A and B are shown apart, each in its own frame.
Chain A
């Protein structure tokens, strides 16, 4: 890569980081929503 190695590799590394964060954020969001609903449904089930 010569003198441009740092620029090229940093772009590919940044891309990988952004893609991993997007996947992680999507999974975390689903897990949180699911857990919140699970708690509410179970609480309602206990009171019935």
Chain B
């Protein structure tokens, strides 16, 4: 009788241990394994870490024009999207006084003329007057509303381009997708890769944070089609999106594949000639009616041959490419 009871008790303890072990294994395989970074130095270089793109440090990642005229007087505060940091770090190194860039403990000081936040932070800061020029992709409707609500009109000058790209794991046999299929996936109408000629496995459509540059690009691509929430993306094979520059450094590492859109691969040429259908503009954005002349001088520099060369060297597409 006692033996039977002991077996029951041990069984209960075993079941509790097995339950937790099962949960932990699920957490590990469905979550931890996917979010553990395997950065190699090459990947780190492309993951736009601030320390790799600090102007005036002799960084090989920052391209600048040595002979450009430096700004004098009131230096405009520049900020921008994370993915565009290499570009505006080059502008700053070219035309800003070295003393205007102040880095403290790995971050830019509030009094520094160069800041580094991200698309969401940059759009907020230009409206709030904490930044004078921001380098970003197009704003979201919410960001435009925030500007309008605060009585600020934004002037946007296109200075370059980059491609909005969709990526899958390299083991995914699908290599080509259409814009209608992307809309189908993100609206939830297309649920399985076999509908696109792939394996019989669900599509895990991943998103970015609301207000980020690439999430805004997805919203614009979707138009009026509602986007399916992404909390269902634990299972299946993933698809995600980003900008080309952000992804290209990862390709050499393996692991991801950029999808062709309507049969067109996003290359410098196809983005420049418009044949890649979802190229995105890169803009210098400032407040309409800005009175600081240096803002206009900075934007003129970005559009000048030297500024455009920096855009090209930094891995983006200049506006005047042939």
Q: Do A and B bind each other?
A: no
Interface residues in chain B, defined as those with a beta carbon under 8 Å from any beta carbon in chain A: none
